[in-house]
Structure 1
Amino acid sequence: MGARKKITVVGAGNVGATAAHWLAAKELGDVVLVDIVEGVPQGKSLDLAETAPIEGFDVRLTGTNGYEETANSDVVIITAGLARKPGMSRDDLLKTNADIVGKVVDEIVKRSPETILIIVSNPLDAMCQVALRRSGFPKHRVIGMAGVLDSA
């Protein structure tokens, strides 16, 4: 049996933590949860690990504020970015989230140059373009995941 896959989730908010939970519960690979807020990814990883005996899964869960633990990830899911506040348009998010996603992609590419990127950050269409350009990856390795596209 080969080595277990490694999946990194960047952003430990509601979307990222939920993704990490499902990845672990389905045993799709070991999960690394990254966030800039000190203690949040570590705490959420511990919470998820405590559900393992109840839900019956066995994966390694790591929470971190840095990118060292993400090295050699097979898949990286990027959920990081500002959430939209009431009255704020998705266009208002563009500049800030483009900066965030760009920096995340730079860190990931250094450590996992063969990974597949799944972008969830909004506005999704634009964030996929940011990730595609910053990573230099071929199109088939940068995927966007959403329900409704802003450009549709």
Structure 2
Amino acid sequence: MTKVAVLGAAGQIGSPLSLLLKMSPLVSELSLYDIVHAPGVAIDLNHIDTPSKVSGFLPDNDGLKKALTGAGIVVIPAGIARKPGMTRDDLFKINAGVIRGLVTSIASTCPNAFVLIITNPVNSTLPIAVETLKKHGVYNAAKVFGVTTLDVIRASTFVSQALNLHDPKGLKIPVVGGHSGATILPLFSQSKPAVTLTHEQRDAVTYRVQFGGDEIVQAKAGAGSATTCMAYAGFRFVNSILKATSGEIGIIEETYLYLPGILGGKEIAAELGVDYFAVPVELGRTGAVKAYPIGSLSGYEAKLLKVAVQELKGNVSKGVQFATAL
């Protein structure tokens, strides 16, 4: 049983994510933090008939420290969401500082906790989290992740829709790379079971996986971005960590992380030429226990990989520079 803290719990991702976590039998305590409304969200969730206790905190009276004390997992969806016309660079200017501040508090309050970054742009905010933890001498590569699970969920969902398949969960399609646009690389050639897409279907589904967030931003007409689906994806990843740390074996999830700190990751980073990349990662009691290579690619995927790596290098560099500037 684990205490989970959600930072940004009153937001459009944090609130449904907190609901899903309240429903999990593996969560013994849920701690919610936000700059507004977190105590109200907590009281609301406490009316649900599951055993976990929920507490809500605001910045006043050391609220962040209280929220983090004793946490085994910290999930961070805090920050602003993307609006129509807003680039991920625009997001970075605001959300980079949010992540640095929150992770600084994690470093001093619960340095051994798992840290899961949802706040976009993840390609840059995860390096900020890593460098911040390094600066405070508490970085553990096996416990710090960028959550890219939504890309995996989209791949199986969109392929199922394209092929009129009944159950998207019946497909396992690896998605590697980063977590924005062209850095996202779905590997349809490695689908289990195998799928056959026409070139037109392949191109269309690849685009939807890479730019599915834009689809939602436009449909919501400025009222939000990918929120409920991201909450579901975040819960799936948290649940995988909860199951792995409780002793369940064979749990593998694609996740964006600092490769050189993980068994097998240094070799992958050297081959790709970039230290941060989402790959299949085996989870265990201590966190990430092994990173797996991306495997053989089709010619189409190999071309997309080069584009993804080149773009990721700039994203990573931006995050590292921000975190190490002070």
Whose radius of gyration is greater, 1 or 2?
2
* RMSD between aligned residues: 1.2
**Equivalent position to 1:8, from 5, 22, 25:** 5
Partner of 1:31: 30
Q: CA deviation at 1:78?
A: 0.5
Higher relative contact order (CA 8 A, sep 6+): 1
Secondary structure of the 1:129 match is helix
Distance of 1:121 and 1:134 partners within structure 2: 15
Which of 80, 84, 87 is the equivalent residue of 1:86? 84
Q: Pick one of 115, 118, 124 that aligns with 1:117.
A: 115
Which 4+ residue blocks in structure 1 deviate beyond 6 angstroms?
A: none
CA offsets 1:121-143 (integer angstroms, 9 cap, x no match): 00011111111111121222111
- Residue deviations 1:84-126, cap 9 Å, x none? 1111011111121010000000111111010010010000111
**Structure 2, gaps ≥5 residues long:** 152-178, 185-326
Higher mean C-alpha displacement, 21-30 vs 40-49 = 21-30
Q: Helix, strand or coil for the counterpart of 1:32?
A: strand
The amino acid that maps onto 1:141 is K
Query: What amino acid is aligned across from residue 71 of structure 2 in structure 1?
Result: S
Equivalent-residue separation in structure 2 for 1:27 and 1:21 (angstroms): 12
- Report the structure, 1 or 2, having the larger helix content: 2
| Superposed counterparts of 1:1-152, under 5 Å | 4-12=1-9, 13-29=11-27, 30-37=29-36, 40-50=37-47, 52-53=48-49, 57-65=50-58, 66-69=63-66, 70-136=68-134, 137-146=139-148, 147-148=150-151, 149-150=179-180, 151-152=183-184
Measure the CA separation in 1 of the matches of 2:121 and 2:129: 12
TM-score normalised by length of structure 1:
0.88
TM-score by length of 2: 0.42
Distance 1:47 1:11 in 2: 16
Q: In the TM superposition, what whole-angstrom CA distance separates every residue of 1:26-57 from its partner, at most 9, and x where no partner exists?
A: 132210010012xx00011111111x22xxx1
1:72 CA displacement: 1.9
Residue 33 of structure 1 aligns to a residue in which SS?
A: strand
**Partners of 2:141 and 2:94 in 1: CA distance:** 23
Residues in 2 aligned to 1:73 and 1:48: alpha-carbon distance in whole angstroms: 18
Q: Where does the alignment leave 5 or more consecutive residues of structure 1 unmatched?
A: none
